[in-house]
């Protein structure tokens, strides 16, 4: 049974109990005062040197804090059984989530924009701002419904002013949408948005029993809530694994680190 549109993961029933259901004004960088190295008139250079020492101390403390935070993250990931080579995590949001959702600990956010040719997530613009203000790689998805493919491609792309690094995603969950429709949507979006990565989102049941071509654009985003982050039960290549919906739909990316994700997506930081 398919629910009425609302939010990608909350708005649509899971296809099988085992499967999951289910986005830059870039990060601001802190500025620092500059100096020409000379002391102000009437003052000695010693206080300036003292300030430099204090700044260096602050930088070193910040690096130590970052290192400790990374160690804590790795310890948590190890406890969850996540492969050490996968350090990239993120969430996806729709109208079921707040416009200002938590971004701490996330490297990417995928945001629902449209469904069919009549529904638009009323929160998606604000949700995009939240993602970009946090400096996250951002993706946008369309929930497929029966009907002309090109009309849904037009509807989806008409909503977004793309910037470099934006990822475009098809959410394939409606059993009335065939494999050929899925392939056509992905190919049309690829042709019309050169330079942008495209993904297919579907659950394990759709991938194993409804897909017939193994075509997923530039990568498969597979949903399976199996308590094994980064270990979906499929033999095909995948790029993202949505492994839980608690407390929010969460995925792990098959990337060595955040820098690798940025390189793959073409993400660039845009000054706010």
Active-site position among 11, 92, 107, 211: 92
Angle between helices 149-157 and 179-192 (to 10 degrees): 40
Residues 23-43 have pLDDT tens digits of: 333 333 333 333 333 333 333
The pLDDT, as a whole number, for residue 74 is 57
Active-site position among 11, 173, 174, 205: 173
The pLDDT, as a whole number, for residue 67 is 62
The pLDDT, as a whole number, for residue 59 is 53
- The mean of the pLDDT values for the chain is 80
The pLDDT, as a whole number, for residue 268 is 82
Q: How confident is the model at residue 89 (pLDDT cuts 50, 70, 90)?
A: very high
The pLDDT, as a whole number, for residue 11 is 40
Q: In this structure, is residue 62 part of a structural domain?
A: no
Active site annotation includes 166: no
Residues 178-215 have pLDDT tens digits of: 999 999 999 999 999 999 999 999 999 999 999 999 99
Q: In this structure, is residue 211 part of a structural domain?
A: yes
Residues 77-88 have pLDDT tens digits of: 555 444 456 889
The pLDDT, as a whole number, for residue 56 is 58
Q: In this structure, is residue 164 part of a structural domain?
A: yes
The pLDDT, as a whole number, for residue 62 is 54
Alpha-carbon span 144 to 149, nearest angstrom? 9
The pLDDT, as a whole number, for residue 54 is 53
Q: How many structural domains is the chain composed of?
A: 1
Q: In this structure, is residue 140 part of a structural domain?
A: yes
Residues 216-231 have pLDDT tens digits of: 999 999 999 998 999 9
Q: In this structure, is residue 40 part of a structural domain?
A: no
Q: In this structure, is residue 213 part of a structural domain?
A: yes
The pLDDT, as a whole number, for residue 22 is 44
The CATH number given to whatever domain includes residue 242 is 3.20.20.80
Mean pLDDT of 96-110: 97
SS (H, E, C) the chain: CCCCCCCHHHHCCCCCCCCCCCCCECCCCCCCCCCCCCCCCCCCCHHHHHHHHHHHHHHHHHHHHHHHHHHHHHHHHHHHCCCCCCCEEEEEECCCCCCCCCCCCCCEEEEEEEECCCEECCCHHHHHHHHHHCCCEEEEEEECCCCCHHHHHHHHHCCCCCCCCCEEEEECCCCCCCHHHHHHHHHHHHHHCCCCCEEEEEEHHHHHHCCCCCCCCCCEEEECCCCCCCCCCCCCCCCEEEEECCCCCEEEECCCCHHHHHHHHCCCCECC
Q: In this structure, is residue 179 part of a structural domain?
A: yes
Query: How large a percentage of the chain has pLDDT more than 70?
Result: 68
Domain that holds residue 133: 8-26+88-265
Q: In this structure, is residue 137 part of a structural domain?
A: yes
Active site annotation includes 99: no
Residues 119-176 have pLDDT tens digits of: 999 999 999 999 999 999 999 999 999 999 999 999 999 999 999 999 999 999 999 9
The pLDDT, as a whole number, for residue 78 is 52
Alpha-carbon span 163 to 152, nearest angstrom? 21
């Amino acid at each position: 049974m398919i629910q009425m549109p609302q939010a990608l993961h909350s708005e649509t029933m899971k296809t099988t109990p085992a499967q999951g259901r289910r986005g830059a004004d870039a990060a601001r960088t802190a500025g620092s005062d500059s100096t020409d190295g000379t002391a102000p008139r009437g003052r000695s250079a010693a206080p300036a040197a003292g300030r430099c020492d204090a700044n260096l101390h602050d930088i070193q403390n910040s690096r130590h804090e970052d290192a400790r935070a990374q160690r804590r993250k790795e310890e948590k990931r190890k406890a969850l059984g996540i492969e050490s080579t996968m350090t990239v995590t993120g969430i996806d949001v729709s109208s079921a989530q707040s416009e200002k959702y938590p971004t701490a600990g996330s490297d990417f956010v995928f945001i629902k924009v449209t469904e069919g040719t009549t529904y638009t997530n009323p929160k998606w613009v604000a949700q995009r701002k939240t993602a970009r203000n946090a400096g996250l790689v951002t993706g946008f998805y369309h929930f497929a419904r029966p009907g002309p493919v090109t009309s849904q491609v037009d509807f989806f792309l008409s909503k977004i002013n793309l910037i470099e690094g934006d990822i475009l995603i098809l959410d394939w969950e409606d059993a009335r949408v065939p494999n050929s429709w899925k392939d056509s949507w992905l190919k049309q979006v690829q042709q019309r948005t050169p330079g942008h990565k495209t993904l297919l989102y579907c659950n394990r049941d759709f991938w194993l029993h409804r897909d017939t071509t193994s075509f997923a654009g530039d990568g498969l985003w597979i949903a399976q809530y199996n308590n094994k982050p980064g270990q979906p039960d499929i033999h095909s290549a995948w790029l993202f694994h949505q492994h839980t919906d608690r407390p929010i739909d969460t995925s792990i990316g098959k990337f060595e680190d955040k820098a690798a994700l940025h390189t793959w997506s073409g993400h660039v930081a845009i000054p706010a």
